[in-house]
Amino acid sequence: MNYGPTQGPAQPPYNYKKARTGVAFWISIVMGVLLLISVIFNVVSFQPIFHGFRQQDGELVEQTDQHYGDPGACDRIAVITVDGIIVDEDYQTMFGGKVMGPVSFLKAQLLQARQDKNVRAVIIEINSPGGSVTASDTMYHEIVKFKKEKQIPVVVYVGEMAASGGYYIAAPADCIVASPTAITGSIGVMMTLIDVSGALQYLQIEVKPIISKGCDFKDTGSPTKKIGSAEEEYLREIVNRYYDQFVAVVHEGRCEKSKKQLATIADVVHVANGKIYNTQQALKKGLVDREGYFETAYEEAINRAGIASAEVVRYSQQPGGGLPFMFGGNSPVRPGGDINLLKVDAGSLGTLPRSRFLYMWQPGITETD
């Protein structure tokens, strides 16, 4: 009897899942190798760009302003930009580059204008509410030094605001032109002290500094304690000293240009009351010379330089290549373009705000009794 072919021993069912896992594993290996090769290729290919980013970091780029002047002319008018809150700090970008702060940027611009023999006059374009006393005074010093060394006209143009420290650095100019809607003035000094002692007492937190003998004023201005009358008087003396310096700077810069409106220290003190002024008020008080727009400042510059026309050049920072270049961040930049009165810095979240002496218009912060 024929029973058909022998079946043999039973075989386990075919494991489709295991087979699919094996294929996926090898595909992953191949893709990983290809990705690694791609990364290596891109690093090698973009090395010049990253290298360029490091080399160009902080350099200035010169650009011709096509809207004003005579592009291509031999004589030049250099526009120096002062924009934002005046602090003597440089900034790091998220990609490791550096952006010069207002003080460093001003120095770099003045240096470039000083080295260009074709620059016949300078327009300092200011848009600032002021800033720290020391940074403002440093910028003022650099402008005065530039005037003495270069011996060319310096015209200030205020498009939107040159208040407090912004006006401090404008004072030595040969002419100040302000737009019809500009704000200036705010001549004065302030120091804002923060007192969190009440909150610490509520939280039952005690801060007790150990101070060396004879140094009772060592922690003056500390936010963890109420300020005493002796300490307040001591700080007010310093503030008043900076105020006197501000008044002297305005008097020196404006006494001859203000048509006798600011001929004496007393005249300057009369307008140096912390008030801001619009352009029309500032004209009457002798704080500015002309009302107009940028072309008015350009006209003043070429007339004072004794030339018929000039090419207008501007200086900006170039962040260079690398990742900013790849993501469209390679356009020229200027520091302090945004006037932010509250700056969030992750590196300082664990510390209390520090007090500073300020030549600054900062509405919303007033002295209380």
Provide the domain limits for residue 142. Answer: 58-208+216-340+349-360
Q: State which H helix or E strand residue 98 sits in.
A: strand 98-99
Which among 218, 226, 260, 275 is annotated as catalytic? 218
Amino acid at 169: I
Which among 104, 132, 136, 164 is annotated as catalytic? 164
Q: Is 28 a catalytic residue?
A: no
**Residue 234 belongs to a domain:** yes
Asked whether 173 and 300 are in contact (CB, 8 A), the reply is no
CB atoms within 10 A of CB 4: 5
The number of domains in the chain is 1
Q: Is 259 a catalytic residue?
A: no
**Residue 254 belongs to a domain:** yes
**Residue 313 belongs to a domain:** yes
pTM higher than the cut 0.85: no
Q: How many residues does the chain have?
A: 369
Q: Please list, in sequence order, all residues whose beta carbon lies within 8 angstroms of the beta carbon of residue 78, skipping any fewer than 6 positions away.
A: 109, 112, 113, 116, 119, 121, 122, 123, 313, 314, 315
Place of tokens 């003080």: 103
**Residue 40 belongs to a domain:** no
**Residue 12 belongs to a domain:** no
Question: Which pLDDT tens digits describe the chain residue by residue (369 residues)?
Answer: 555 555 555 555 555 555 555 666 677 777 777 777 776 666 545 544 444 333 344 578 999 999 999 998 999 999 999 999 999 888 776 656 678 999 999 999 999 999 999 999 999 999 999 999 999 999 999 999 999 999 999 999 999 999 999 999 999 999 999 999 999 999 999 887 777 777 877 777 877 777 776 777 676 767 767 777 888 788 889 999 999 999 999 999 999 998 889 999 999 999 999 999 999 999 999 999 999 999 999 999 999 999 999 999 999 986 544 444 444 444 444 454 433 333 333 333 333 445 667 888 877 544 433
**Residue 46 belongs to a domain:** no
* Residues 140, 142, 146, 148, Cα dihedral to 10°: 70
CATH number of the domain at 310, please. Answer: 3.90.226.10
**Residue 20 belongs to a domain:** no
Q: What is the pLDDT of residue 85?
A: 93
DSSP three-state, residue 295: helix
**Residue 354 belongs to a domain:** yes
